[in-house]
Structure 1
């Protein structure tokens, strides 16, 4: 067993799903993004040291989009585990939640990092223009599947 000595950062993402209008909130990473510039992604970010992943998800969603969600309205949807070198020297672990209850309307609260934040129809996801395999993961999440995606592992 190889131990790189560094634990991968823990991140949290939220799929805000408006089932009635068949749409989700996505953001397009801007020129200032450290990873995936120009690509579409979910609202996502690193958890603070000692911060529970649900609180990190709620905080990041609000910081990036202005949307508010309650912890009890988050449902575990997916886990993404990337190997070292994929977006981070230590890799990363992202816990993805889905919610169908929120308050507010999405706005771009971090224009230095994102070009836009908007609703996107679930039947018009920007395939091929999303970070890693977010489009395929979203299809599974919206279909009700809970799964794990591995990136860069043999």
Structure 2
């Protein structure tokens, strides 16, 4: 039996400016083209989800938010992972306050980071990131969605490509 892998991401929302923090992910074996996403990554074994989200935000974007201040806003169950392997569960957290400056702290993985207009998200974007952002920004109260369970949904396909 294959275990369900855990991933987290953080929507950092500057409500006053109408912007969200985005990361431009470079090519790698499972992503044939650079694509936009929100800061996030894998949960380490034994790590709490909120602590993983705070760690990934700091590691990927240089922004600091205490884990207990992150708010769980959505969960996405993906049928196949970012690496083409089994399923994963993405816990989407959000925050409207942080410390630090948005910085490309992993230039070996990311082309750039930016504050994107919430009304005009950059493309192409990973579909799970796009779903997380559009659900959060629309105020849709449904806290759960799926990806990859319908014919034609492929995590390696990009929204806006």
What is the TM-score when the length of structure 2 is the normalising length?
A: 0.84
The match for 2:136 among 136, 141, 148 is: 141
Considering only aligned residues, what root-mean-square deviation do their CA atoms show, in Å? 1.9
Q: Could you say which residue in structure 1 is the equivalent of 2:155?
A: none
Number of residues of Structure 1 aligned to a counterpart in Structure 2: 149
The match for 1:81 among 54, 77, 81 is: 77
Runs of 4+ in 1 over 4 A off after TM superposition: none
Shift in Å, 1:137? 3.0
- Tell me, yes or no, if structure 1 residue 125 matches structure 2 residue 121: yes
Matched-pair contact (CA < 8 Å) for 1:86–1:151: no
Shift in Å, 1:135? 2.6
Unaligned runs of 5+ in 1: none
Structure 2 distance, partners of 1:140, 1:112, is: 30
Shift in Å, 1:92? 1.2
Shift in Å, 1:36? 6.4
The match for 1:114 among 110, 117, 140 is: 110
Structure 2 distance, partners of 1:111, 1:120, is: 18
